Amino acid sequence: MMMPRREFLVAGGASLFAAACRPAHMLGIDSEVAPSFCFGSPTEREIDLASHLLNRCTFGARPGDRESLQSLGSTAWIETQLNPQRLEDTEAERMLRRFPTLQEPAGELYEYKPRVLLRELVCGTILRAASSRRQLLEVMVEFWSDHFNIDIGKGDCAWLKVADDRDVIRAHALGRFLDLLRASASSPAMLWYLDGRVNRRSRPEERPNENYARELLELHTLGVHGGYTQRDVMEVARCLTGWTVRPSSGFGKGRVEFHPHEHDDDAKTVLGRHIPAGGGERDLHDVLDLVASLPETSRHIATKLCRRFIADDAPEAAVDAVAETFRMSEGDIRQTLRTLLTRPEFVSARGTKLKRPFHYLVSVLRSTDALTDGRSALSDFLTSMGQAPFQYPTPEGYASGAAAWERTLIWRWKFAAAVAANRVDGTRIDVDQLIRRAGGEGLLMAHVLGRQPNATEQEAWKATGGGASGLALLLASPAFQRC
Amino acid sequence: MLSAFSPIRDDRRTLVVLFLRGGADGLALVPPVGDDAYHRARPRIAVAARDAIRLDDRFGLNPRMAPLESLYREGQLAVVPACGSEDDTRSHFAAQDFMEHGGADVGGGWLGRWLRQRGSAGGGALTALAFGTAVPESLRGAPSATALRAFSDLGLGAAAERLTPHLASLYAADVMLADAAHDALDALNRLASLHESSYLPANGAIYGNDDLAVELKRLAQLIKTDLGLEAACLDVHGWDTHFLQATSMEPLMARLASGLSAFATDLGSRLASTSIVVMTEFGRRVVENSSLGTDHGRGSVMFVIGGGVRGGVHGRWPGLDDDALVGPGDVRVEQNFRDVLAAVLARHGNFRADLVFPGYRVQPIPV
């Protein structure tokens, strides 16, 4: 049933081959002929620094990734990843051209059906994570998508989340936190999701809607123990009254506007700071500037970053250092990551985290150099594993820690078995070629595991008969669930 | 570790939701044969009082629903007429969306929120299933939700025998994942023992060959296998009966009733820990149209079976006189679907109405 590779590509499949690894005749695009073996499989029995960086800062090592990391050196590699605009990314960009909705301005998105938008957004997200060379950017996009979670199922988010993903999350994922926060606060999707659009006070007896104000303090900035009170929530809500989104019926749909007559323009006090009367739309910026600059925010963001990159139980010393950089650099995300990724706690915490389902699924595609169209079969698996992108219902986003995801093993195994046997629609793996390109079964195992296989793994591989069954077992193994 | 699969603790109950897609006519399912207005409005398609299966002085069950009569007599079937949502668009899409999300502009589905809110109480390998090719909106945001076409969708397929022994040995040494792997392997073993062809329904239950019957039979098998299934969704299509209503609706009703009856019989004592809810997005116009059908309306009916249900006809009946109707002549919604669901969910334990139905003040109807 398997299509010849060339036909599959013509039929709309997309290759995840590292450009340098792709034999020219296969795609007829790159003139460079690839070296025969370019996996650069690890030789150590434990996860080395290169594998560790690929585990934590990318969605998995594609064939050749280790080699390029090692030839650059880890410091330079991190620097390249922190400056994604310097990395050409034509392969991912070419794939994304298939999804015109992702480029539509907010107002135009209403011309499409919600299920088309969701499909293209999820598909685009999977393909970017799987094929973009700007991996740390994609990892941070996932991080901020949870931090500023929006459930695409709520009201007009069905249309507007596409713009939020592009103009808020992607635009600022490696930029300044304050810019990200400002973009999010005036994102039409966020105004919908957390009811900011109906937060108004045209008459003194009208009570502001506190939903966004609370989550802004609790989730987006200070953190739940960030020292604010219910009174602060109410005062922030007052500051933000009057911001709304044009409804989907009529002219200018999806446009964000400030309605002065719906704004509470009296004086407020937020976290001890006086906000004078008559501020109008400036109140929003005053509030965001204030909360973004507070040390509680630095600590909250640093803790979440350390949980994502180091350990579920974030080490104090690392949190302190990362928070300090965040504060000193005024929320420069790249600067903050630079500190984090060179911390000894980061360097030593190898293979200890559980990949979340999205990370797991994409790492399967990347490590096996799968050809994929990114379509619904993959998002169906993510739904079974409990991490359907952009569909987490409540504002805190998908959980970071292992405890929330341990119960998804059965679906990971199922995916491993199905994908290795080429039983996932729209995704193909050529196991024999993988083994050949890696330079043998042992080297393929080392590439997938990020270290030399141990005795149990080698025996298990042999006992399955190797090939597609061996690969399925490897992808289902505990080591591959971790990063 | 095995405790995760031990049968029937209070959090081991299964909720089964049947959604009748297309706006099922409550006045045909449960005709108010005691109301003169009903017969006046539907001179050609009304169910005659003598044909209906008597529920109380006003309501009867459509004769095609006869297989449900014994459940009703045993107090295992609750009927909630004039039931529906606030959505008055009379649009299939909008009304289904409203119900499945559990309100307007609410993120995620009500089942998804409920399962997440319950947390890892169950923690089984198989939390939520939808029969068919897609997971319905109501399950959006669930900790895990899977569309099931066949049992083979659940296991590891052909690779199972080769993989599972090695998975066991590889995971045994993994501190973080050993317990979870043990449970997952246990679930896989149980799944591997499932064979559709050799399954013998209990208590003499006889299923038909239609899709719904086949799905309900599979579901009964899964429930009895103790996989920790907390919610299952089934769709029944074809209820949009604008034209020659009887022709299309009678076989549907017959299959619905015989399927549910066989399912309840097959579950036997397990029916006590299984709640079955039957719902639809809206009911239909009271007056029949020129082509012996009915058009989109408002209030319909909900059924609840099993799980400790209080049988009987529940709620207020607004009547069908002209001044009681809403919009172009529709049954007024007197019972909100959330208030029925809330009563059911409360019996499944660990239910927080404010999280499952945010922005709605739940007043459970004691079904």
**B166–A392 CB contact, under 8 Å:** no
Reduced to 3 states (helix: H, G, I; strand: E, B; else coil), residue A387 is coil
CB of B52 within 8 A of CB of B269? no
Q: Are residues B49 and B184 in the same domain?
A: no
* Chain A hits for B4, Cβ within 8 Å: none
- How far is Cα B288 from Cα B295, in angstroms, rounded to an integer? 8
Asked if A198 is an interface residue toward chain B (Cβ–Cβ < 8 A), one would say no
Determine the structural domain holding residue B160 and report its residue range: 154-195
Tell me if B305 is assigned to some domain. yes
Tell me if B277 is assigned to some domain. yes
CB of B312 within 8 A of CB of B57? no
* Chain A hits for B87, Cβ within 8 Å: none
Tell me if B201 is assigned to some domain. no
What is the 3-state composition of chain B as percent helix, strand, coil, each rounded to the nearest 5? Answer: 40, 15, 45
Beta-sheet pairing, B335-336 with B77-84: parallel
* Chain B hits for A122, Cβ within 8 Å: none
Beta-sheet pairing, B274-280 with B312-313: unpaired
**A469–B162 CB contact, under 8 Å:** yes
Domain total for chain B? 2
Q: Are residues B168 and B86 in the same domain?
A: no
Q: Are residues B103 and B163 in the same domain?
A: no
Instruction: Transcribe B22-83 into DSSP letters.
Output: T---HHHHS--TT-HHHHHH-TTTPPPTTTSEESSSS-EE-GGGGGGHHHHHTT-EEEEEEE
Among B106, B144, B189, which would you mutate to test the A interface (most chain A Cβ atoms within 10 Å of its Cβ)? Answer: B144
Q: Are residues B45 and B138 in the same domain?
A: yes
CB of A57 within 8 A of CB of A81? yes
Tell me if B312 is assigned to some domain. yes
* Chain B hits for A146, Cβ within 8 Å: none
Tell me if B364 is assigned to some domain. no
Q: What is the pLDDT of residue A132?
A: 97
Q: What is the pLDDT of residue B108?
A: 86
Residues 128-167 of chain B whose Cβ lies under 8 A from any Cβ of chain A:
135, 137, 140-147, 154-160, 162-163, 166-167
* Chain A hits for B155, Cβ within 8 Å: 414
Give the count of alpha carbons within 13 A of B276, CB side only: 31
Q: Are residues B309 and B332 in the same domain?
A: yes
Amino acid at B157: G
Among B87, B111, B117, B167, which would you mutate to test the A interface (most chain A Cβ atoms within 10 Å of its Cβ)? Answer: B167
Distance from chain centroid for Cα A465: 36
Q: What is the pLDDT of residue A37?
A: 55
Q: What CATH number did the domain enclosing B233 receive?
A: 3.40.720
Among A149, A355, A375, A383, which would you mutate to test the B interface (most chain B Cβ atoms within 10 Å of its Cβ)? Answer: A383
**A394–B107 CB contact, under 8 Å:** yes
Q: What is the pLDDT of residue A21?
A: 43
Amino acid at B352: R
Q: What is the pLDDT of residue B120?
A: 52
**A193–B107 CB contact, under 8 Å:** yes
CB of A51 within 8 A of CB of A66? yes
Beta bridge partners of A418: none
- 10 Å CB burial of residue B27 (0-12, 13-18, 19+) is buried
Q: What are phi and psi of B159, to 5 degrees?
A: -80, -10
Q: Are residues B66 and B186 in the same domain?
A: no
Domain boundary residue, one of B195, B228, B248: B195
Q: What is the pLDDT of residue B135?
A: 87
pLDDT along chain B (367 residues), means of 10: 37 90 97 97 97 98 98 97 96 92 89 85 72 88 85 82 92 92 88 84 96 96 90 95 93 98 97 97 96 95 96 98 95 98 93 94 96
Give the count of alpha carbons within 13 A of A270, CB side only: 29
Q: What is the pLDDT of residue A4?
A: 41
Q: Are residues B287 and B350 in the same domain?
A: yes
Beta-sheet pairing, B312-313 with A371-372: unpaired
- How far is Cα A409 from Cα A477, in angstroms, rounded to an integer? 10
Amino acid at A443: L
Q: What is the pLDDT of residue A165?
A: 98
* Chain A hits for B172, Cβ within 8 Å: none
Q: Are residues B247 and B291 in the same domain?
A: yes
Q: Are residues B245 and B129 in the same domain?
A: yes
Instruction: Write out residues in chain A with pLDDT < 50, as ranges.
Output: 1-36
Q: What is the pLDDT of residue A26?
A: 33
The residue extents of the domains of chain A are: 5-63+354-481, 295-348
Q: Are residues B135 and B251 in the same domain?
A: yes
Long-range contact set of residues A47-51: C-beta below 8 Å, sequence gap at least 24 = A47/A350, A47/A351, A47/A450, A47/A451, A48/A451, A49/A74, A49/A347, A50/A74, A51/A350, A51/A450, A51/A451
Amino acid at A178: L
Q: What are phi and psi of A14, to 5 degrees?
A: -125, 135
Answering whether pTM is above 0.95, one says: no
| A293 dihedral zone (left: phi>0; alpha: psi -120 to 50; beta) | alpha
Q: What is the pLDDT of residue B340?
A: 98
Q: Tell whether ipTM is more than 0.90.
A: no
Residues 166-205 of chain B whose Cβ lies under 8 A from any Cβ of chain A:
166-167, 169-171, 173-174, 176-177, 179-181, 183-184, 187-188
- How far is Cα B2 from Cα B183, in angstroms, rounded to an integer? 7
Q: Are residues B162 and B266 in the same domain?
A: no
Q: What is the pLDDT of residue B124?
A: 62
Among A119, A410, A461, which would you mutate to test the B interface (most chain B Cβ atoms within 10 Å of its Cβ)? Answer: A410
- How far is Cα A99 from Cα A120, in angstroms, rounded to an integer? 6
Q: Are residues B123 and B253 in the same domain?
A: yes
- How far is Cα B334 from Cα B82, in angstroms, rounded to an integer? 6
Asked if A249 is an interface residue toward chain B (Cβ–Cβ < 8 A), one would say no
Amino acid at B46: A
**B176–A354 CB contact, under 8 Å:** yes
Q: Which of B276, B282, B279, B280 is nearest to B304 (CA)?
A: B276
Tell me if B361 is assigned to some domain. no
